[in-house]
Chain A
């Protein structure tokens, strides 16, 4: 059972689950940007549900849903600049959407047509999907170090889950980031579960509390409050650009769905808990807040829904019409300069030169 209020670590929250402002919601976003945040979250959720359906229809092999974590991903990704670089794990489709990654290319990972997704990571500023949990944290730190060597003010952001925080690479990455004062944001989506292991069996103290141990800045935020997530991340970005080094952010959220289409969370989770977290839904909360603030109206919401519907239909059409990749690609990208023995194998398997 994931308790957000039962710890000593302060948690940043600007909008309460019922949509009322409980903090300074003036976080430096324009009206359009505020509306965009909602549109993105609505799109993300619609896409997530479509992907689940696509998997059940055999169009995707395995899909890990992110429902409930829209605010954590959208709010944080929105805070990054065009030169910043994201290092995701395998559940950050919403963040990918915000960063402009081609969704169909991204989903090819889940269709089994290409590992990592065939989008261009450098152009997208979004690394390939990374499955060995926590290993991407070290990549993000290395990238950030490289950015400082170039005198750039760009920063990296590594997404990882509460389970990843147990891995050695979390520790090595965090320590390296601190030692090298790397402009890296270590963004943990503590969604309460690592497959079937709840976070109170994954660690004891809040993840954000570790920051002090590494000598870096830490923050704990309500991961279902998109404005709070945006603000905290924005803060970390500005510190990184100012040369103040890394930040560890723990966004407390909840994985509404199962670990993946291959998992059935009802076997190990209490439905009451899921229902309770349903009461803290990020989209409901933010939509209510914007409606109350007069930033949007119902027509806007309907427009978002319709637009998302149409958009998802396009994605479905494009995704389901994809063919198999050419077999030669298996050989052509392993090396820039392949060994002759590999070229011979390519000839033998393909039956020609």
Chain B
């Protein structure tokens, strides 16, 4: 047993993937010699050489676009966008091509590419360094979207995403990069499309992903002291979405609260509430609550804590839902 930070776990995942599959490539801005601005790719270029791990010019559309050509030439590209706030120039290549190529070619040419994007808030970052872009990708048919919440799961999910034959947008919660977890790094366990109950509880289920999973666990601990036992469900991937796990959790509790950093309107919460209504309507004892960021651009560092769902906001939502 060893202790791993999420950065170290992701680094190991990339290392192990590069070693296991000689067709994998890792590239992006500052990923080579520097090892990435968060050190996620540290040591990889030295180990695997410049042909497997290389830096690119600052050209996000180009980085995403060469994934298409490389995939057509039989490679498995693992590209990095340095921050979610800088990933948008690549959206055309991602939406118009990475997501569509398999369908366009009637299944002949797949895009087994992974685009890793340090995302979400909680690091008191500058503008464009704390946003939540997941719904742009989740709403683009043809893409898979994965969000780990812990170091061990980050290893597992990144390895599985790299092995996945479809294009995966891998959103890493940078606010949790330095979180630690004891255990062995392993690909064994649930893969993409499977949520995980990280806390059992009968009163209500908290549904979250990324950094908000940990925050929900903290809220659940506080609520337990009041006699409210809340379950916590880590979605792990947004596409495919584990609708069965959401359904089962709501059927057994009758009450749900969805938590995400992204702004309220048309966030993942909206999709989850719709699925709950479709799958577990007759079990609802209360309306589903959403605890999210407000519908404003991501704020500066000094306001970040007021923007992000806090333990108290989450706990209050559970209390309200339980008392309905």
Contacts and interface: CB of A to CB of B under 8 A. Distances in A.
Do chains A and B make direct contact within the complex (CB under 8 angstroms)?
A: yes
Interface of A: 85, 87, 114-116, 118, 120-122, 127-128, 132, 135, 137-147, 149-150, 156, 168-169, 172-173, 175-176, 179, 329, 332-337, 339-341
The CB with the most chain B CB atoms within 10 A, among A144, A172, A179, A329, is that of A172
B103 A172 contact: no
A339 B239 contact: yes
Given A135-B96, A138-B93, A179 B70 contact: no
A145 B108 contact: no
Given A135-B92, A340-B243, A172 B72 contact: no
Interface in B271-286: none
Contact of A143 (B51, B62, B72, B101): B72
A325 to B, nearest CB: 9
A127 B239 CA distance: 28
A142 B68 contact: yes
B65 A135 contact: yes
Interface string B234-270: 0000011101100000000000000000000000000
B201 interface: no
Interface of B: 25, 51, 56-57, 59, 61-62, 65-75, 77, 89, 92-93, 96-97, 100-110, 141-142, 144, 164-166, 193, 239-241, 243-244
Contacts of B241: 339, 341
B72 A173 contact: no
A335 B73 contact: no
Contacts of A118: 105-106
A120 B241 CA distance: 32
B236 to A, nearest CB: 13
The CB with the most chain A CB atoms within 10 A, among B62, B100, B193, B241, is that of B62
Given A118-B106, A176-B56, A336-B165, A85 B65 contact: no
Contacts of A341: 240-241, 243
Contacts of A337: 164-166
A176 B106 contact: no
A146 B100 contact: no
A179 B29 CA distance: 13
Contacts of A120: 105, 108
Given A138-B68, A147-B73, 7 more contacts: A121-B109, A122-B109, A138-B66, A139-B65, A145-B66, A339-B240, A340-B193
Contacts of A143: 69-70, 72-73
The 9 closest A-B pairs by CB, nearest first: A142-B69, A138-B65, A146-B73, A142-B66, A339-B240, A172-B62, A143-B69, A336-B165, A116-B104
Contacts of A141: 62, 65-66, 69
Contacts of B25: 149
Majority-rule SS of A interface residues:
helix
Contacts of A114: 104, 106
A168 B107 CA distance: 29
A76 B200 CA distance: 66
A115 B102 contact: no
Nearest to B67: A142
Given A121-B108, A335-B102, A340-B240, A173 B65 contact: yes
A344 to B, nearest CB: 9
Contacts of B105: 116, 118, 120-121, 128, 333
A332 B107 contact: yes
Contacts of A121: 72, 105, 108-109
Given A132-B96, A172-B62, A139 B166 contact: no
A138 B97 CA distance: 11
The CB with the most chain A CB atoms within 10 A, among B72, B142, B244, is that of B72
Contacts of B75: 146, 149
Nearest to B142: A334
Contacts of B77: 142
21 contacts: A121-B72, A122-B108, A132-B92, A132-B96, A140-B69, A141-B69, A145-B73, A146-B75, A149-B51, A172-B62, A175-B57, A176-B62, A176-B66, A179-B56, A333-B103, A333-B107, A335-B142, A335-B144, A336-B110, A337-B166, A339-B240
Contacts of A333: 102-103, 105-107
Given A135-B97, A139-B97, A340-B193, A172 B65 contact: yes
B102 to A, nearest CB: 6
B59 to A, nearest CB: 4
Contacts of A340: 193, 240, 243-244
Contacts of A128: 101, 104-105, 109
